[in-house]
Structure 1
Amino acid sequence: MKGAELGIWQFASGKPGLGDMGKGPPRAVAGSRAGTMGASARKRKYEEGLDLSQLPPELLLEVLSHVPPRSLLGSCRRVCRGWRALVDGQALWLLILARDSSAEGRALLAVVRSYLPAVPIALARFCERRPIGRNLIRNPCGQEGLRQWVVEHGGDGWVVDENKTTIPEAPAQTCFVSSYRWCNKKQVLDLEKEGLWPELLDSGRIEICISDWWGARHDCGCQYQLTVQLLDANQTVLDKFYVAPDPIEQWNNNACFQVTHVFSNIKTGVRFVFFQHWGQDTQFWAGHYGARVTNSSVIVRILLS
């Protein structure tokens, strides 16, 4: 190999030349190390520049208000005592709520400011769980089988089937089908666990909206009943709604109906909602030909006026 070619090979490969034996690495390698050290220093300086704890509290609040509530409670709260104090306080969560500029959002913020929770962390749970405007009934259409429901089987019991009629805005087009004896199922909703707090529940500024769909097969009649109760902390009934519509007759073209009710002027002390419905067929046929129920909902809303 010629001398010039050898020199190029030595520089490109980082190998020492014949005359450099015992003198350490060539300058090209030393320069590379210096570059690496410089990059590390710049990286450390950059990371030091990302210390959010150096921000003024009001600016840090603004930054944290863009973080999802679950991350605030699960990760940010553990960073340091200062961050924990911000997450546990009310200012951060009020800032998050203030971002909703809709009529509903403005009404919600006004009510929350007027009826702040005695325990500040309750406001954090409220923002995380978002109970206002959300269906509090779990598994309303049978997407999870019979899970989340306390069931009593009559006849051949409850099963889940596809809807015979499309239900608008339902999360799934499936339903619970009853049998030739009365079948019932229920849920008890703990409003505080859902994210609401006593001062808000007792404010007189909320309403509880109930909805349930029921129907029949075209070739078999059915019966249906619904009971909804508002309970206090001791499970005492403070208000209730009950309906038992006329049975659907046989040969009915897959009739389907919606039952609705709104609890307004809610009494002080409501902490639970008890929801229970029944169904059976009118022909007493073995199998599952009874009332078909689906898309049950319990929704808490803020009164706009």
Structure 2
Amino acid sequence: MPGNLLKNPNADEDFEHWMVIENGGDEWHIEEMSEPAFSDDSVTKYFCTSFEPCLKRQVIDLLENGYDPENLDFAQPAVTVTDWYSRQPDCGCIYKLSVALLDDKQDVIAEFSPDDVTLPDTDDCSWKQVTHTFTEYGPGLRFIFFEHGGQDTKYWKGWFGVRVTGSSVTIDV
């Protein structure tokens, strides 16, 4: 079974595999990694949002990724979601994340949608991690919905909104 089920989590392939849901302001943008450095040296790029809401998503089809439906129903393996976010220098930002486990009709079985995070312009710009593990969610898991993004808090032209990279969805088999 594959490790990270999200494709192109670090902007290495531009926006390939991502469905842009909202593309506000100056639209989504990709930038080269800068200070502060990311915890994984292999991550060299990140996605950056603008002054109006920017959201992008992937819906992962577990059967297409080789998972057996009976095993998913019986074992209900842990599903772990991780995302990294940071603000741009000189501007605050808002970070949003929503993840859901879906059945074969793409109805929600379980979801993780934490409150939006607002990073003030006094924040140190360090990369912050959010992680959640789904367990004991019941039978029927067939898809995983992953959506994230945000915007800046000063409505500045350009790409001063939240930065995201290093996203992952893994299943503990």
Q: TM-score normalized by structure 1?
A: 0.54
Corresponding residue of 2:36:
165
Distance, in Å, in 2 between the alignment partners of 1:205 and 1:245 is 28
- Give 5+ residue unaligned stretches, structure 2: none
Corresponding residue of 2:73:
202
Aligned residue type for 1:176 = F
Please say which structure displays the higher CA radius of gyration: 1
Corresponding residue of 1:153:
23
Q: Which has the higher strand share?
A: 2
1:98-137 alignment runs, 5 A limit? 130-131=1-2, 134-137=3-6
Contact 2:86 2:163 in 1 (8 A): yes
Q: Which has the higher helix share?
A: 1
Corresponding residue of 1:220:
91
Residues 193-230 of structure 1: per-residue CA shift (max 9 Å, x gap): 01101011112351100000011012110001100001
SS at match of 2:70: helix
Q: TM-score normalized by structure 2?
A: 0.93
Distance, in Å, in 1 between the alignment partners of 2:69 and 2:82 is 24
Residues 217-273 of structure 1: per-residue CA shift (max 9 Å, x gap): 121100011000010000111100001343111132323210100001131001000
Residues 34-73 of structure 1: per-residue CA shift (max 9 Å, x gap): xxxxxxxxxxxxxxxxxxxxxxxxxxxxxxxxxxxxxxxx
Matched residue pairs, number?
171
Residues 273-299 of structure 1: per-residue CA shift (max 9 Å, x gap): 000012100111001000000111000
Q: Which runs of 4+ in 1 moved over 6 A?
A: none
Corresponding residue of 2:59:
188
1:1-305 alignment runs, 5 A limit? 130-131=1-2, 134-151=3-20, 152-163=22-33, 164-169=35-40, 171-302=42-173
Distance, in Å, in 1 between the alignment partners of 2:147 and 2:118 is 18
Report % sequence identity. 39
Contact 2:96 2:115 in 1 (8 A): yes
